[in-house]
Amino acid sequence: MPFWKQFLICLVVIAAGFAGWMFFVPGAGETLRKAGFPEASKLASEEAAPQKAGGQDGQARRRGGGANAPVLVVTQAVVRGVVNDRLSAIGTGDAIRSVVVMPQASGTIREIMIKSGDKITKGQVLAKLDSEEQVIARGQADVVLKSAVEKSSLYHNIKSSVSRMDVFDAEIAEQGARLQLQAAELNLERRSIVAPIDGIVGIIPVNVGDNVSTTTPVATLDDRTEILVDYWVPERFANTITVGQPVEATSVARPGRVFSGAVEAIDNRVDAASRTMRVRARIDNASDELRAGMSFNVGMKFGGDQYPAVDPLSVQWDSQGAFVWQVVDGKSGKVRVSIVQRNPDYILVKADLKDGDAIVTEGLQRVREGGAVRVANEVASNSEPATQ
């Protein structure tokens, strides 16, 4: 490119840069005036003046007016919240009565008279052991008793011919024979394994021919007309739960079903390791839908403690702790709060607030102590056209 073209382009670029500096840089006019160019400084001032005025007007509009104009905010009324009003705990169920049946004597099982799932009544025979020896012993005791009775009767009839001591010995022998017969009958009776309670039989772990002892489980019986559910509650409920208080229980095995019951018993101490207390509830199971060992979700309702509830967005923090902005007669004021419980929708606080108080939730950045505010939700409602 020829030299004269390069020189011309440089002059154009310099002129454009100077014009931009003169029209867009604040204070350019004053600089030109001091440099001895009064006409250029006047032109720069005239061009900058509309821009400066427009910028101030825009800032004023963004601020909603002048420096003393009310701050536009959104408020929400304080409502009443409840804490510790419901308890939910996991518990394990057990039959109201459950027995592991064991023999009262050792021997070989000769007969099993039940099967798994049978409903058993108290006193029903479940199984029998071999009893040949006991039958013989009872027969022997019966013979001895008959002999003693005959001898005693004979001595009573001939009291004049025998001494009183012989009569007394005969009576003692009769009583001893009767006791021996009772013992023999008891031993024979114990060869039959009977049910101590009403209930339903579980899986039978023995078979005919097994040799069992007094520690061998023969059957399990569960009376599940009612289910006892043990669960653990936090210690803050220790003085709230009472015997007879209603409870509701749900089970994984019966989704959607709610079973009603009541508190059966409360432990007398709080566990020092977990800071919880054991509670037992009784659940009705007349329909026989529940089983021992099931897990339950137990729920209880209480009156609870009431506190003011505010929107989570309204709680602010400073060096002294948490606070909220309260709007009273168009003025904002700081109210100190102490957080009691955080919930998804509200925060329960301890503060000098009552139901219906207006608390700022939006526009918090420009709110000041004692400053004037405009409530946006009130402005919107007042601007709605009236219904004819």
| Beta strand pairing call for 316-318 and 276-284 | unpaired
Mean pLDDT is lowest, of 64-78, 254-268, 356-370, for 64-78
- Angle at the Cα of 132 (from 130 to 136), degrees rounded to 5? 150
pLDDT at 13: 74
Confirm whether 128 is domain-assigned: yes
**pLDDT tops 50 at residue 181:** yes
pTM attached to this predicted model: 0.56
Q: Are 325 and 314 in contact (CB under 8 A)?
A: yes
Domain that holds residue 335: 71-83+306-382
Collect all residues with Cβ–Cβ distance below 8 Å to 243 and sequence separation of at least 6.
263, 264, 265, 266
- Can you give the pLDDT at residue 67? 52
Of 90, 191, 76, 173, the closest CA to residue 131 belongs to: 191
Does residue 387 belong to any structural domain of this protein? no
123 and 177 inside one domain: yes
pLDDT of residue 52: 47
Total number of domains in the chain: 4
User: Which residue in 333, 375, 382, 384 sits closest to 76, CA to CA?
Assistant: 375
Residues 288 and 331 in one domain: no
Residue 104 in domain: no
Q: Are residues 116 and 195 in the same domain?
A: yes
Q: What's the mean pLDDT when you consider all of the chain? A: 83
Q: Clarify whether residues 187 and 118 are in a common domain.
A: yes
CATH label of the domain that carries residue 316? 2.40.420.20
Residue 101 lies in a domain: no
Q: pLDDT grade, residue 84 (50/70/90)? A: low
Q: What is the pLDDT of residues 94-110, one digit of tens each?
A: 999 999 999 999 999 99
Residue 388 lies in a domain: no
pLDDT band, very low/low/confident/very high, at 301 (cuts 50, 70, 90):
confident
pLDDT > 50? residue 60: no
Is position 177 within any domain?
yes
What does the pLDDT read at residue 159? 67
Pick 200 or 21 by higher pLDDT.
Answer: 200
Query: Considering 242, 275, 304, which residue would you say is the last residue of a domain?
Result: 304
Question: In the structure, what pLDDT confidence band is assigned to residue 81 with cuts at 50, 70 and 90?
Answer: confident
332 and 354 part of one domain: yes
pLDDT at 385 over 60: no
> Residue 100 falls within a domain, yes or no?
no
| 321/297 same-domain check | no
Q: Give the per-residue pLDDT at 136.
A: 94
Last residue of a domain, one of 159, 183, 212: 212
Q: What is the mean pLDDT of residues 186-214?
A: 94
Give the model confidence (pLDDT) of 165-179 as tens digits: 877 888 899 899 999
Structure letter (DSSP) for residue 328: E
Domain end call among 185, 212, 239 = 212
Backbone phi and psi for residue 159, each to the nearest 5 degrees, phi listed first: -55, -30
pLDDT > 90 in the chain, percent = 52
Q: Is the pLDDT of residue 135 over 90?
A: yes
Distances (CA, A) of 80 to 44, 299, 304: 63, 23, 12
- The reply to whether 244 and 338 lie within a common domain is no
For residue 29, the model assigns a pLDDT of 60
User: In Å, how far are 5, 307, 364 from 65, measured between CA atoms?
Assistant: 54, 39, 18
Contact 95, 285 (CB under 8 A): no
Q: Is residue 99 part of a domain?
A: no
List, for residues 215-262, the tens digit of each pLDDT value: 999 999 999 999 999 999 998 888 889 999 999 999 988 888 999 999
Mean pLDDT of 123-127: 94
- What CA–CA distances, in Å, run from 385 to 74, 325, 381? 21, 30, 9
